Structure formats: structure tokens, C-alpha cells
Amino acid sequence: MTPRTLFDKVWDAHVVHQYPEGAALLYVDLHLVHEVTSPQAFEGLRQAGRRVRRPERTVATVDHNVPTGDRTLPLADPVAARQLDALAVNTRDFGVELFDLASPRQGIVHVIGPELGLTQPGMIVACGDSHTATHGAFGAFALGIGTSEVEHVLATQCLVLSKPRTMEARFTGRRAPSVTAKDLILAFIGRIGTAGATGHVIEYTGDAINALSMEERMTVCNMSIEAGARAGMIAPDETTYSYLAGRPRAPGGPAWLRALLEWRRLPSDPGAGHDARVSLDASAVAPQVTWGTSPAMVTDISGHVPSPADFASDGERQAVARALAYMALTPGTPLEGLPIDRVFVGSCTNARIEDLRDAARVARGRRVAAGVRALVVPGSQQVKLQAEQEGLDGVFRAAGFEWRNAGCSMCLGMNADVLRRGERCASTSNRNFEGRQGAGGRTHLMSPAMAAAAAVAGRLVDVRDWEIRDL
């Protein structure tokens, strides 16, 4: 039999029908739904008199536009409130489970899926959100879709897709202390560019990937979309299984053992070929910071703001000049020492428990610099609860960070958590596009430890120079 990749195996197991024109009809195991990209899809079902084909494979939560402040108060934004109400009505009318603002399980859709044990190896997971790639950390094929496709999955439990190509991203070597999964993926995107993996599913392999925890693997897979990939995947192993064991929606008893047998067959066969290969020496990666308006505009914290003249093509030179004007940066400026106004620790990239611990180890016994406003927004109410049980909220509060409720928050600024024009932010999120965190706001992406250190120093700093404290 021809050796197959992890992706080939997941794909083959989900083909319901192969169309003569080349596309395949694929079965979706898990469909995650949130308030922003679903209302028009449910409305479409209603107008056509269609039902949700598999409500039990569909799970909804509210995350994008929700306030992260006091949950006992009514929503201040009536337009956002209408969108939340629409999801409540839609999930009730169509029989879909909803983790709403009152639920202790509410959180960012890509944090709660894995946390509940809903996301499992070998699945196809779809969601109307580009960071669905996160779930690929479990060896699932997890892809972001638009609202029309959300409606299509609701109605048919299937998606029509042409098979993407695959890219192996091999991360070798041992990373240095204080270098995180975020630094690895930022360095990788910096190397291949924001369209470097367009049309491909990335399979991350190598010692440096195998050594990552599930939380760290999710950070890596999450940002696959920032390299243009359709999805990112990591083969399941003992780390995956021990994370999943005992989760509320993971299989239990005899079903667990049957699942394990299936999952152990998923890793790529020896000799299975990828369409493209890229490698990265993890031991050579330093803490990363973005300087521009795309995640590929990134360099080491010890680096400098580049000059448009450093780039080869006219297009790149124009893009860099535009980015520097927007970011109010001058070529040659060292990144270390750049003053910041705001800090955001949160998002589906970096708001799981390990991320909060990383930030707390830096924040412990220190103070947020005068004039800096710093937010910690847990990825889910469960992460928040666990952090509080570990006393992390106390560490953050004592240091002057604001401790919030779960949501996407300032990653995309759909709620009240936004940058003001001209404010510069050290952020653990995934996109530094113009205006992403607020019109005119300037975002520098980095790891949670780097963001916490920036909050304390009031400027971008190299966390490798800092004493990391026990919690």
C-alpha cells in the first residue's frame, strides 16, 4: 500500500463522495459555532426550511464580541447584545448546545473545544473562524470556513473541498529557555511569508515539535493561517492522549481503548511524501517581536527595524514603507527599548493555562510600569477558574494587571477592549494588521512572557535577561 501522510489518512476517512470535477464531499465530525459568523447561516436555513442535520455534532459559544468586564451587568453595546440574542434563539430553535455568558464553560471557541475533549485525533473540525487551525494540534484536519459554508455544514454535515497539497514543517533541535512555541511559529512565518503555505496543509514534525505540550502545539497550529495554510496538523502521540484522557467529552471506558487503537494508526507512514518541505532549527530561534503590519514582519528582540531598502522587490519595499509609516517606526531603531502603552495577554493563540503561568512567572513580585495599561484575558472561564485556584489572578492583580473574563477581547477589538489611535501594544495575539486591535492602534506580537516583561518595563525587552520566578 502507498505510504500515506497523517493528512491523507484523515482526508481518506472522510470522503463521502468524490465528484467527477475533482472536489470531494467530506464529512465534518465537529462543527463549532460562534455569534459573529453564524447568524446569516441560521437565517439561510430558516428561509429554505432546512434543519441542522446533526445538532449533536454542533457546539456553540459566544466569544468574539462579548465584554470581559463584570458579567452581572447588562451589555452596554445593544448591537452586540442583539447578535448574542440571535445565537441564543438560533441554537434553541435548531437544538444546538450553547455555552453562553452564564456558562462556566464559556470561552474562546478554540480554547473550549480542546478543553472539553470535543476535539479529537483524526477528526475533521470546521468553524467559521480562520484560527480553527488550532485544533490540528490533536491530529485533526481543522479548517476555517466562511458563513455560506457554515450554513452548508449545518444543513448537510459536509463540506465540498478540493484536496489541498501538504507541506512538512520540520522543527529540529532544542529551543533555548525563555523561547516559546510562539517564537517558533513567528520565526517560521517570518521565513516562509504570509502566503508561504497557501493551498497547503502543514504537518509540523521534528524533535522540537514532539517536545511541546498540547498547549504549545495549539499555539503553533493556531498561527498556520498566518502563513496562508488551509490548516496545520501535528501527529497525535502520548502527549495528546494524556491531555485528552478524562476530559468531559472525550471517549471513556472501552470506547477510549478503541479510540486509542484508531488514533495510533494516524501518524504519517514512513516514506509518505509531502509536496513541500521546510525546516527550522529551533535551537537558533530567539524571542520574536513583530515590527510591521503582518505577522511575517518579524525579527529577534535583539534586532532592529529594517529599512525598505533591505528588501528585494518594489512590492516589498512599498509594503515595508507603508508598514513603518503606520507603526511610526524609523529604520535602524532597536526593537528592544521601544516604549509601549498597552499590553494584552490573551487570544486563542496564547490564553491557555500554561500561557498565563508563563506571564505570571515574569509578573510575580513586579509592577506594571506607570502609564501602561495591561489586560489578562483568560481563554475560557475554565482557564480563569484554574488560574484562580493556582493564585495567578492574585499575582497579576498585585502587579497591576487587569484580570478579566474570557473572550477574544483585544485580539480583534470587537468589544470595548480596543487600542486608541496611536497607542502601541505588546500583544500575545496573532495578527498585527492595520487597525486590528483598534483603528490606528500599533500591535507588536510576542510570547506571553515577553508581553508581561514589556508591561513591567514599559518598553519592549528581552525576557532572556530577566529572572523568571517560581509561582
Partner 1 sequence: MNQPFVRHTGGCALLLRANVDTDQIVPKQFLKGVARTGFAAALFHDWRYREDGTPNPEFELNRPDAAGATILVAGANFGCGSSREHAVWALAEYGFRAVVAPSFADIFEANCCQNGVVPARLTDGEVAELSRRARAAGPAYRLTVDLEARRVEDGAGFRAPFAIEPYRREMLLRGLDAIGRTLLEEPRIAEFEGRRA
**Nearest one of 228, 186, 218, 152 to 350, comparing CA atoms:** 218
36 contacts partner 1 (rule: CB under 8 A): yes
151 interacts with partner 1 by CB under 8 A: yes
User: For residue 239, how many other CB atoms are within 10 A of its CB?
Assistant: 17
- Nearest in space to 128 (alpha carbons), one of 61, 179, 66: 61
Determine the size of the site formed for partner 1 (CB under 8 A).
65
Alpha helices in 299-438 (DSSP H): 314-327, 353-363, 381-389, 392-399
In whole angstroms, the minimum distance from the beta carbon of 380 to partner 1 comes to 21
Nearer to partner 1, 433 or 468 (CB): 433
Lookup: cell for 109 = 471557541
For partner 1, the closer of residues 257 and 439 by Cβ is 439
Contact yes or no for 426/340 (Cβ under 8 A): yes
With CB under 8 A as the contact rule, the residue among 130, 172, 239, 279 that binds partner 1 is: 130
Tell me whether residue 36 or residue 324 sits nearer to partner 1 (CB atom). 36
The single residue among 115, 129, 300, 462 that binds partner 1, judged by CB under 8 A, is: 129
Stretch that binds partner 1, among 139-147, 184-192, 262-270, 331-339 (CB under 8 A): 139-147
Tell which positions 284-303 bind partner 1, by CB under 8 A.
Answer: 294
All residues at 6 or more sequence positions from 315 whose CB lies less than 8 Å from its CB, including other chains: none
Comparing C-alpha atoms, which of 217, 235, 216 is closest to residue 141? 235
Q: Which of residues 147, 213, 279, 307 is near partner 1 by CB under 8 A?
A: 147
Is residue 50 a contact residue for partner 1 (CB under 8 A)?
Answer: yes
What H or E segment, with its residue span, contains residue 402?
strand 402-403
**Could you give the 3-state DSSP secondary structure of residue 426?**
strand
- Confirm or reject binding of residue 101 to partner 1 (CB under 8 A): no
Judged by beta carbon, residue 297 or residue 452, the one nearer partner 1 is 297
Q: Is residue 25 involved in binding partner 1 (CB under 8 A)? A: yes
Helix, strand or coil, per DSSP, at residue 144: strand
CB atoms within 10 A of CB 226: 27
Query: For residues 412-431, which are near partner 1 according to CB under 8 A?
Result: 412-414, 421, 431
Q: Is the dihedral of CA 353, 358, 364, 370 positive or negative?
A: negative
Contact 357, 395 (CB under 8 A): no
Q: Could you give the CA distance from residue 182 to residue 180 in angstroms, rounded to a whole number? A: 5
> Contact between 156 and partner 1 (CB under 8 A)?
yes
Query: By rule CB under 8 A, what string of x and - marks binding of each residue 355-394 to partner 1?
Result: ----------------------------------------
Q: Does 433 bind partner 1 (CB under 8 A)?
A: yes
Candidates 103-111, 192-200, 334-342, 350-358 — which segment interacts with partner 1 by CB under 8 A?
Answer: 192-200
Bin 109: left if φ > 0, else alpha if -120 < ψ < 50, else beta.
Answer: alpha
When asked if residue 65 is in the footprint of partner 1 (CB under 8 A), the reply is yes
Residues within window 235-274 making contact with partner 1, judged by CB under 8 A = none
How far is C-alpha 303 from the chain's CA centre? 25
Question: Using CA atoms, how far apart are residues 266 and 136, in angstroms rounded to an integer?
Answer: 13
Q: Which stretch binds partner 1 (CB under 8 A): 123-131, 184-192, 282-290, 395-403?
A: 123-131
The DSSP code for 465 is G
The answer to whether 149 contacts partner 1 (rule: CB under 8 A) is yes
Could you say whether residue 55 binds partner 1 (CB under 8 A)? Answer: no
Tell me the closest approach of the beta carbon of residue 110 to partner 1, in angstroms: 13
Determine if 146 is a binding residue for partner 1 (CB under 8 A): yes
Smallest distance, Å, CB 82 to partner 1? 7
How many CB atoms lie under 10 A from the CB of residue 92? 10
Listed residue (278, 200, 210) closest to 232, CA to CA: 200
Angle formed at CA 327 by CA 325 and CA 331, multiple of 5 degrees: 65
Candidate list 1, 73, 79, 309; residue touching partner 1; CB under 8 A: 79
Site membership for partner 1, residue 228 (CB under 8 A): yes
Closest CB to partner 1 among 60 and 399?
60
Q: Output 28 or 383, the one with its CB closest to partner 1.
A: 28
The side-by-side arrangement of strands in the sheet containing 58-61 is 97-99, 58-61, 30-33, 124-127, 141-144
Binding residue for partner 1 (CB under 8 A) from 6, 31, 37, 175?
Answer: 37
Sequence letter at residue 382: Q
Binding stretches for partner 1 (CB under 8 A): 16-17, 19, 21-23, 25, 27, 36-37, 39-40, 43, 48, 50, 53, 64-65, 77, 79-80, 82-83, 86, 128-130, 144-149, 151-152, 155-158, 160, 162, 164, 194-195, 198-199, 225, 228, 230, 294, 315-316, 318-319, 322, 412-414, 421, 431, 433-436, 439
